[in-house]
Amino acid sequence: MTSTYNITAYCSSVRQTLLETIFLLFLFILPLVVCPLWGQTGQKRKLSAENYNKWGRLLFERVSPDELWVSYKMLYDSSSDSLFVRGIENSKIYSFAGVKKSAFTAGGFVCLMGGNLHLVNLAQDKSEIMHSVKQFEHLKSLDYLLVLKSEGEKKQTLIIRTLEGRIIDSITNVISFSVSPDENKLIYTGASSDKMVLMLMDLKKNCKKKTVYESVSSFTNLTWSKNSKAFVFNSRPKGELKCSLHYCLSDLIKLYTIASDSLHFGKEAFITDQQLRNLSIADDGSRVFFNYKYVDHENTPSSLDAEIWNGNDKRVYLEKKVHGDFKTSAKAAVWNPFSNKVFTLTTSELPKLFLSTDQKHALLYNPEAYEPQWEIDSPIDLFLIDTHSGEKKKLLRNSLPIWGQRWFRLQENMSPISKARTGGSIILRQIHIPILLRI
């Protein structure tokens, strides 16, 4: 009995000693280790709403051709954005505020800010500033810079140069310019005595120039085809609303023209150049999509006039103010310059349009077809039109729109077309219509 008692007492004593040791460790030793760390860190400041505007959003832009430099932006809500160019190996940083456009060249960086074009030679750490710059483009294939510079008295000069400063060509009295997608050709408009002139330049053939068109009218909306084989533009007499539309083959310098008087859409329709995304050429180069309007004889009230709320309107006044009036807004049409066939795509009855990827077909609809009604999404009638022949067919009647979470199931082949309803969503099979153009 005595031996058993001694062993039990010994185990109890050891357990007590361990508990006391652990208690002392947490009570005295650990605070001595942690306290120096607490003393080395400052007190955190309280974050207030006044500090929110100091935050920014980091946005990556691009990497230089030699992969030695990278550009990124810091976007701020309350101040101008900042653009940074940083070396990957040497960590050198260049910063610019309020940049409108930027590009890497072979060994350099160019950006336009506040009318000043900053040219930085990253390899040699040298910089240059060109003042009064309206526009610039960088040609990757030739490593040329195209700079449209104001010279005062409403005159502008187009300068073609390298980053190092070597002048390739300089053209005075230039108004606007546009580079082909393959960067081989350049079209520009200029003033010559009492006329306007449109010129075509071959950048791969010593900047050889050809005259495309001369007129007293101004030229707008210079637009190239995707394959760089053709371009289109508008011409409009000074003080007029009606335009003409021109299509030119860049290799043959063959010009096709259609005037507003040739539309025959009724109600004094005319070609307009005063809309965004005004001109577009089909990928096969056979059709031109353009905007047209009707002469407004009703003198639609402006925003300064009294508000008019009609009880039978499709939309209330504020919605019409935001979305516009389909009767007076610009509409889309298509023109085949080779056959001179032209017809409307969108109308006041079907004012909205989606083009297919090959631009051979378009979907038309009217978001106000069944307004006013109580649903969030108003039903629509959906039509398919052939942009070659103008043939139009109704696909869906009184169906829910499929924007947002409702969607088209899109496939490559345009025909045949079948439709089905599953779970309240409309599925159009064998149609491939990503949103490339919406008017």
Helix, strand, or coil here: 140? Answer: coil
pTM, two decimals, is 0.78
In whole angstroms, what is the distance from residue 250 CA to residue 202 CA? 10
Do 178 and 223 form a contact (C-beta atoms < 8 A)? yes
pLDDT digits (tens, 9 = 90+) for 12-63: 665 666 666 665 555 455 555 544 544 455 677 788 887 877 788 899 999 9
Instruction: Determine the pLDDT at residue 116.
Output: 96
Instruction: Determine the pLDDT at residue 10.
Output: 61
Q: Which two tokens stand for residue 295?
A: 């002469």
Instruction: Determine the pLDDT at residue 31.
Output: 52
The CA distances from residue 246 to 2, 167, 189, 309, 413, in Å, are 118, 32, 14, 42, 32
pLDDT digits (tens, 9 = 90+) for 210-254: 999 999 999 999 999 999 999 999 999 988 989 999 999 988 778
Instruction: Determine the pLDDT at residue 430.
Output: 34
Residues of the chain with pLDDT under 50: 1-5, 27, 34-35, 37-39, 404-439
Helix, strand, or coil here: 79? Answer: coil
Helix, strand, or coil here: 215? Answer: strand
Instruction: Determine the pLDDT at residue 249.
Output: 93
Do 92 and 82 form a contact (C-beta atoms < 8 A)? no
Instruction: Determine the pLDDT at residue 19.
Output: 60
